Amino acid sequence: MSTQTTSPAERTALLPVIPPNVARATATAGGVLTAASAFLAWTWTSAFPGDLTISGYPGGLQVLTLVAGVLTALFGLASYGVRGTRWLAPAGANGPVLLLALGALGTTWYTLLAISAELGGLANWEPGAWFAAIASVLAVVGALGLPFDEKAAASLGAPAPGATPLQQAWHTVRLALAPRPLRAAKRVPAYQEILIIVGILGLGLLVFTYGIGTAYGELFVGFLILAAFGVAAASKAGLLARASEITSRYRGVTMAGAFVAAALFPFTQTDDQYATVGVNILIFATVALGLNIVVGLAGLLDLGYVAFLGVGAYAAALVSGATASSIGVHFPFWAAVLTGAVASMVFGVAIGAPTLRLRGDYLAIVTLGFGEIFRIAVNNMDGKSGPDVTNGSNGIPNIPDVNIFGLDLGATHDIGGFTLGRFANYYLLMLLITAIVVLVFSRSGDSRIGRAWVAIREDETAALAMGINGFKVKLIAFALGASLAGLAGTVQAHVQYTVVPDPYQFAGPVPPNSAFLLAAVVLGGMGTISGPLLGAALLYLIPYKLQFMQDYQLLLFGVALVVLMRLRPEGMIASRRQKLEFHEDDEELLGPDPVAATGTEDSVGLSKAGA
């Protein structure tokens, strides 16, 4: 073990009165003690979910505290420079130690406060709970004494004269989160880098499976707290940037591995409960990726995009042999998919042709009106207020299950000893369609038309001056985005057995709707592939898991979104262009593009777009 000394470039600490070595020892010991506290009983009754009454065996939320404590201790050792741990922090370990200590504190104290609230006071805390509370605070106190990068402090500047204590605290938080350049990495053989990619994807599958399978709301909230601080720590440590460097060299392997990992999800489940959530997340994510072409690449603000999902769903319902269909035909699934996609594309062209000469807010208002017109129109096509096409507010029920090559997706199937239910079958089908949409997005984004979209998004006047046909290019984006939403709509119609007009509105408590779709694109990262997929997954999963909070569900959800966008306005996964737009002062600290493997290249000149 070797002890690092504080260099002149690293002498800024949140609690400078604590010597650096004492701070490292305190933070590391606090992490160890926090992890050890998970093996003690925290309460006396099993009435609290997870049964935290057993000593020697962590249960429920104690598992999250255990993980947070272990990670805090590991990064504490990395801050010492212990052999075998330095790879954890290629950009420095001090900041990640603070973030992980805060994650351990948040998870632990959330659990203890939940025990008090649900069981009736601090009297329900066992000695193990008090031990956990003190240990988690100890880790944070030690982490606050660690030195931070003075170069980052210089880029952020000093707090404004007369700043309030709250503003000063916010400045120190930004200091702790400021990016740092990575240490030069030694190249390893290709097979080792591919194994690293496999490990990253396996870890992602494990985290997603755990999060989606949380059995009760309190456990999911604790998971969110730990996941948020864990991702922030990984980013601060440079692990995410390092992973992006590796995946950028093997884009095909990374993309194929990601879909293989996603396909393994149903095989990790014992029943169909969470496969239902999985297939709905994929539908939401696929539609968000289609909207990303319109908003993220072409820069067209579409507030009625969910209507194209509805067009695809209704078109598929009408031609798939539903008993209430006014057409009375039964197309095979591949024909129904094409029908839904083509119908949505036609509507996209019909709406885009007269409106895409508008810009900005005017285009947004027109598309918002189209979304409302669609919902009202399908409500009125009931044979009374209008023609009998959609059965009005009753919708089109009894849509039969998909049958592909004699395989009934509505039935249960055994594969390799694993039983896949109805929703697991549709999950795999939707995953295939998502792969097609990702391929279309990637190829179109990297093409000449994709470069033209980006040129128009950045400066339409300059793009027109370079010879780009703005109206034609925008109409193609509108039509392509609409057809991709129609593809997802055809699967949604079969998954839900019925299609009704109510979900296809601008805003509502349950996604997908236009507001949630737009939020998924902006929150995830505009112009990238993985950004909207991640944003859509979170925006669907979080409200679904927070239903136990009832009236406070959307309030807490909105607060979380505001905080996240304040901390990361460019989105969770952003291209280098977007990072530079929002963090111009930190340009020298940004390092390599963190989405080289998953985003589209949008830094090509206008001359290439117009070529």
- 182 and 269 assigned to the same domain: no
Q: Of 101, 100, 69, 75, give the one whose Cα is nearest residue 90.
A: 75
Q: How far apart are CA 282 and CA 86, in angstroms?
A: 37
- 297 and 436 assigned to the same domain: yes
The answer to the question of residue 332 being in a domain is no
| Residue in the block written with tokens 């272990």 | 70
- 563 and 424 assigned to the same domain: yes
| pLDDT value, residue 360 | 75
Query: What region, left, alpha or beta, does residue 531 occupy, with left being phi > 0 and alpha being psi -120 to 50 degrees?
Result: alpha
- 566 and 485 assigned to the same domain: yes
Q: Of 411, 441, 405, give the one whose Cα is nearest residue 426.
A: 411
| pLDDT value, residue 40 | 93
The answer to the question of residue 518 being in a domain is yes
Domain boundary among 164, 193, 222: 193
Looking at the 3D structure of the chain, how many domains does it have?
A: 2
363, 300 contact by CB (below 8 A)? yes
Q: Within a 10 A sphere around the Cβ of 210, how many other Cβ atoms? A: 16
For 177, 199, 202, 228, 495, the CA distances from 534, given in Å and listed in that order, are 21, 19, 16, 13, 22
List, for the chain, all residue ranges whose pLDDT scores fall below the cut of 50: 1-11, 587-611
The answer to the question of residue 354 being in a domain is no
Q: Within a 10 A sphere around the Cβ of 57, how many other Cβ atoms? A: 10
- Angle at which helix 190-212 crosses helix 530-545, to 10 degrees, equals 30
114, 121 contact by CB (below 8 A)? no
The answer to the question of residue 425 being in a domain is yes
- pTM, 2 dp: 0.82
Paired strand residues for 415? 418
- 460 and 378 assigned to the same domain: yes
The answer to the question of residue 142 being in a domain is yes
485, 315 contact by CB (below 8 A)? no
Domain boundary among 176, 193, 210: 193
The answer to the question of residue 258 being in a domain is no
| pLDDT value, residue 31 | 94
Residues of the domain holding 528: 264-320+360-383+398-609
Q: How far apart are CA 260 and CA 99, in angstroms?
A: 32
267 phi and psi angles, rounded to 5 deg: -80, -10
- 142 and 268 assigned to the same domain: no
Read off the DSSP letter of residue 418: E
Cβ contacts of residue 157 below 8 Å, gap of 6+? none
- 145 and 293 assigned to the same domain: no
- 303 and 169 assigned to the same domain: no
| pLDDT value, residue 104 | 94
Q: How far apart are CA 605 and CA 588, in angstroms?
A: 22
- 602 and 454 assigned to the same domain: yes
- 275 and 365 assigned to the same domain: yes
306, 287 contact by CB (below 8 A)? yes
Q: How far apart are CA 450 and CA 443, in angstroms?
A: 8
| Residue in the block written with tokens 């939320």 | 61
- For residue 205, count CB atoms less than 10 angstroms from its CB and return exposed for 0-12, middle for 13-18, buried for 19 or more: middle
The answer to the question of residue 469 being in a domain is yes
Q: SS3 for 460?
A: helix
- 294 and 179 assigned to the same domain: no
552, 542 contact by CB (below 8 A)? no
34, 130 contact by CB (below 8 A)? no
Domain boundary among 165, 193, 221: 193
168, 33 contact by CB (below 8 A)? no
Which tokens sit at 199? 């490990």
The answer to the question of residue 487 being in a domain is yes
- 288 and 376 assigned to the same domain: yes
Query: What region, left, alpha or beta, does residue 175 occupy, with left being phi > 0 and alpha being psi -120 to 50 degrees?
Result: alpha
Q: How far apart are CA 125 and CA 123, in angstroms?
A: 5
